[in-house]
Chains A and B, each alone.
Chain A
Amino acid sequence: MAIDYLILLSRQGKVRLAKWFKTMSPKEKGKIVKDVSQLVLSRRTRMCNFLEYKGLNSSYPGFPVDLYTDTKIVYRRYASLFFIASCASTDNELITLEIVHRYVEQMDKYYGNVCELDIIFNFQKAYFILDELLLAGELQESSKKNVLRCISQQDSLEDMETSDEIVKRLDAMGLA
C-alpha cells in the first residue's frame, strides 16, 4: 500500500506541500501535478474519493518493473485543502484514505486546529510530521501519541540549542 506521492493542493490549485516517494524527473512531476490538480478540482462533493490516472510510466530504476502503469489517486478535501495521495491500482484504497486522514489528524493535534495558513507558514513542520508518519511511502507508526511525542521532542531539542546559543553569546559579551 505504498504511497507514491502526496500533494496538498489548495482549492485555487496552488501546491502547498509535495512529497515524492517515487523517483521521478521534474518534468514528470510537473505533468502529474497539472493533470491531477485538474482532475481533483473538477470533482464534486459526494463523489467517491478515488480516481484513476494513467501517466506514471517511468519505471523506478531497480524496482521490480511497474506492472501497473495505472495508478489510483486517493484524495480527500479538508476545509480549503485537498490531500492527494497516489498508490498502485491494486492497493487498498480505503486504508490509504485512512492514512491520509491520520496525517490530517496529526497535524490538527500538532498545530492545534490546523488551517491552511499554518501549513503555508510552517511548511517545514508539516514535512517533519509527514516524515515521522511515512517512510518510503509506507506507514511507519500507527500510534498517534508516539508520532507527536517524537516531533515535540525534536522540537525541544532545537529549542534547547537555541537557548544554549543565547547563553553562550551573552557569555561572550560578558553579561551572564
Chain B
Amino acid sequence: MSSLKQFIRNVRASKTIADERAVVQKESAAIRASFREESGDSNVRRNNVAKLLYLFTLGERTHFGQIECLKLLASPRFADKRLGYLGTMLLLDENQEVLTLVTNSLKNDLNHSNQYVVGLALCTLGNIASVEMSRDLFLEVEKLLGTSNPYIRRKAALCAMRICRKVPDLQEHFTEGAKALLNDRNHGVLLCGLTFVTSMCEADEAEGGEEGIVEIFRPVVPNLVKTLKSLATSGYAPEHDVTGITDPFLQAKILQLLRVLGRNDSATSEQINDILAQVATNTDSSKNVGNSILYEAVLTILDIEADSGLRVLGVNILGKFLANKDNNIRYVALNTLTKVVAVEPNAVQRHRNTILDCLRDPDISIRRRALDLSFTLVNAQNASLLVRELLAFLEVADNEFKATMASQISIAADKFAPNRQWHVDTMLRVFKLAGAYIKEQILSSFVRLIATNPDQQTYCVQKLYASLKEDITQEGLTLAGAWVIGEYGDALLRGGEYEESGVMQRVTESEIVDLFTTILNSAYSSQIASEYIITSAMKLTTRLQDPRQIERIRRLLQERTTDLSVEIQQRAVEYGNLFNYDQVRQGVLERMPAPEIREEQRPFGETAKKTSKHRKLKADQQTKADDLLDLMGGEAPEPAIHTNGTSQANADLLADLLGGSSAATTTAPSQSRPAAQDIMDLFGGNSSGAAQPSSAQPSLNLNNLLGGNGGDSTSKAPTHQAYSKNEISLSLQVQRSAAGAQITARFTNNSNFSRFSAVGLQAAVPKSQKLQLAPINKSELDGGEEGIQQMRIAAATGSLPSKLRLRLKVSYTKEGGAPVTEQVDWTEPA
C-alpha cells in the first residue's frame, strides 16, 4: 500500500489525462482490495479513507468507501474519529441510506468526555443532519446548549439551528436556551446564538408568524443595542480586531437580528434608531470591513420603520458607495438602490448620471445591476434622455441583455413617450439594434402603433425598408419590415425618395421584389419570416403597378408551392389561386383596418371585473365564444385559426379574438385569405352584438350552467381567489391526489388595456411540506390575458392537512407604475 502522499504525487506527475485516469483507477482498485481484506489495523483504514477523500476532491466515485468511513467513527482513537467524521460529512448527505448507521455513533460521541469528540459529532450533525437524525438526537443537543463549555455551546447552537430547520416542531425545545445564548459574553457563542435566533425568526415569519417567535425575542432588543454600542465604540480589542474594527462579524449579525425584530414594529424600530444612526455615522468606510457593516446597517434602516432622517442617511451612504472606486462597493450600491427606488425615487434620481456611467463598466456584474436600476429610473420627465442612453447601450450590450432591454425599452417608450414621432423612432431603433431578440408582444404592439398612426406610416415603411436592405439577419426586423411593406407598399413607392445615410435613394418596384427574394433565399429566413414574406408579397400584388414585377411575385409564390413546410405550401397554393379571382383579390388584400381601441371590442370587460370568481369569468368567455361560433352558422373557426401559424393555445386565441386587437395583429398576414377574413369579420362584427345580450343580463343561472360544462376536467376542482388588486387578480385551483396537491395559479389581467409585466408568484409552504414551483408560462399580460403558474405540494412526512396554507409573494409591474411585490397569506377555504 502506498501512502497518501505518494498517491497524490503520482496523480500530479501524470503528463496526460489518460495517465491520470490510469493512476486513479489503479489506486481505486487497490483501495477496494484493501477494504476487502478487512485488516483490523486502523492506520491502514485511515490511509485508505484519506485517499478516498482525495479521490472525492478529484470528482471520482467514492461510494464504495462509505462504510469504511463509518467504521472509523466507532474507533476509540481520536485520529480515527476525526478523519471518519470528515469523511462522513464529505461523502454522505442527508439522503443517503447509510446515514442511519451514523446516528448511534453520534449519540455516543455527543456524550463523550472529550470536548473535541463532542465537537466533531456536533459539526457532523450540524452539516448533514436528516429529519430522522434531528428527531433522534435533539435532546442531546438541547442538553449541550446549556453546558458551561463555550466551544461546545456555540457548536450546539448552530446544530440546533439545523435541527429546527429540518423539524420545525422541535423549535419550542430550544427557544429558552436560545434566549440565554443572546446574553452570552463569549463572542463565538453570541455569534452562533444570533445566527440561530435570526434563523428561527425568519422561518417563523415565512410561516406567517403564527408561533410568535419574533415576539418572544423582541425583549432582547435593548440588550442587543447595548452590545452593539459597546462593540462600535470600543477601542482596540486584539482578540477580535479586523483592521481597526471590533468583531465586524458580530456587529453584522446583531444588525441583522435587529432588522428582523424591528420589521413592521414601530416600537422596536424606535429603540433601534439611535444605534443605527451611530453605526452609520461612526463606522470607518475606508476598508471593506467597515463598508460591510455600513451596508448591513443600511439594509436594516431600509427594512425597519426608521424615521425619515435616518432613511436619508441610509440612502446617502449608498450614494457615497456609488462614488467609491472599489467595484465591490459600487456593485452593492447599485444592487441596494434598486430596492430604494420605490420609496425614495428622488434620492436615487440624483445619482442618475453615475448609474448610467456604470452601464459602460467593463464588469458584467456591474453592468447587469446598473441596467436593472436604470429601467426603474425612467419616468415621464426623463424618458427621452434616459431612453437615448439606453439605446446607445443597446448598441453595444451583451447579447444576453438584448431581449430584456428590447422589451423594457419598448415598455418605457410606450408608457412615457412625449410624442408619437419619438415613440416610433425609438421603436425603429430597437428593431434595428436588437431585431433578433424581439418578443412577439413587442412586435405586435409595434405593428399596432404603426397601424394606428396614419401620418407615420410612410415614414415607418421607408425606415424599415432601408434597415431591411442593410440587414436581413435579424428576424424581428424582418417580420416587422415584411408586415409594414406589405401593408403600406404603395406608400413606400409614392413616398418617392428617402434619405439613407445622407444619400437620397429612390425606391423601385423591382428592388422591393428583389429584397423579398433575397430574404426568402437566404439562410436567415425562418419559417415565420417566410410566412410573413409570402403574405406580404401577395399584398404587394395589388400595390405594385409594373406587371413584370407582379409576375415575378407570382413565380415566387409558385416556387413555394412545393415548400417542405405545409403551412408555407398551403399559403402559396391558395395565394396562387387567388390570382384567378381578380375581382375579389383587390378587396381581400386591402389594408388591414387599424385596430380599434380595445375597450369597444371588449363588451364584457365590465362584467369580467365584477365576477370575482375567476373560473366563472373563464367559462363565461369560453361559452360566449361558443355562442359566437353558433352565430357563425357552425363554420368551425379552429382550423382556420390554426393555419394562421400562430402557436397560441386555442383558448388564448379565442380570448384574444374576443378581447381585441392583439389577435388582429399577430394573425394579420394570413387574414388576407378570404375564409379567414370572413371569420374575422364575423367575429369583429358580431362580437359586440352577440355578447351584449348575455352580458347585459346578469343571469346567474346562465353562469352556473356555463360553469358546469364549460371547460376541461381540471376546472372541476374548486377555484379560490387569492388576490385582487390594481386590476390584476390571482386565483388558485387546488387539485388533490395521493401524491399531494397540484395548484394552478392563474393571474388574470382584469384591465382593458393596461399591460402587466414581470408577473410572477413565489410561494412558501409550512416546513412540514415540500413545494415545487414552476415558472409562469407568460409573465407579460396584456388586457384580459392570463398567465398560469403550476405548483406541486407534497407532505414531507405523513399526509397533507385538509386546509393548505400558502404564503405567496405576488409581484408584477403595471404599465405606468412601479414594480409591486405583495405578500399574501392564503388558507384554503373549507
Contacts and interface: CB of A to CB of B under 8 A. Distances in A.
Contacts of B131: 61-62
A49 B93 CA distance: 30
Given A50-B328, A51-B365, A128-B82, A65 B240 contact: no
A136 B124 CA distance: 9
A143 B239 CA distance: 6
Nearest to B299: A92
A52 B328 contact: no
B204 to A, nearest CB: 10
B379 to A, nearest CB: 26
Contacts of A157: 78-79, 114, 116
Contact of A59 (B242, B288, B770): B770
Given A153-B116, A154-B116, A92 B158 contact: no
B191 A141 contact: yes
A135 interface: yes
Contacts of B329: 94
A146 to B, nearest CB: 7
B809 interface: yes
Given A49-B328, A124-B53, A140-B192, A135 B155 contact: yes
A153 B116 CA distance: 9
A138 B195 contact: yes
A94 B58 CA distance: 30
A49 B326 CA distance: 10
Contacts of B340: none
Given A61-B770, A92-B295, A136 B86 contact: no
B116 A64 contact: no
Contacts of B366: 48
A13 to B, nearest CB: 12
A94 B362 contact: no
B327 A46 contact: yes
A65 B764 contact: yes
Given A61-B796, A158-B82, A94 B295 contact: yes
Nearest to B168: A62
Nearest to A63: B165
Given A23-B93, A154-B82, A161-B79, A59 B167 contact: no
Nearest to A68: B762
Interface in A45-60: 46-52, 59
Given A50-B365, A141-B188, A62 B767 contact: yes
- Chain A contact residues: over half helix, strand or loop, or mixed? mixed
B362 A44 contact: yes
A92 B249 contact: no
B365 A65 contact: no
Interface in B184-198: 187-188, 191-192, 195
Interface in A7-61: 15-21, 23-24, 30, 33, 44, 46-52, 59, 61
Contacts of B368: 52
Contact of A136 (B158, B202, B764, B771): B158
A95 interface: yes
Contacts, number: 185
A20 B158 CA distance: 16
B680 interface: no
Nearest to B49: A124
Contacts of A140: 154-155, 158, 188, 191-192
A120 interface: yes
Given A59-B770, A136-B162, A146 B188 contact: yes
A158 to B, nearest CB: 4
Nearest to A101: B288
B95 A23 contact: yes
B252 interface: yes
Given A65-B765, A143-B188, A99 B249 contact: yes
Contacts of A142: 187-188, 191, 240, 247, 249-250
A1 B127 CA distance: 15
Nearest to B246: A142
Given A99-B249, A120-B12, 20 more contacts: A1-B256, A18-B57, A48-B331, A63-B767, A65-B764, A65-B773, A92-B299, A93-B328, A93-B332, A94-B288, A95-B296, A123-B53, A124-B50, A131-B123, A135-B192, A136-B161, A140-B158, A150-B119, A153-B116, A154-B82
25 contacts: A1-B252, A16-B57, A23-B128, A24-B93, A30-B59, A33-B59, A47-B363, A48-B328, A48-B365, A64-B764, A64-B767, A65-B763, A124-B83, A124-B86, A127-B53, A131-B89, A135-B127, A135-B155, A138-B195, A140-B192, A142-B249, A143-B239, A157-B78, A157-B116, A162-B79
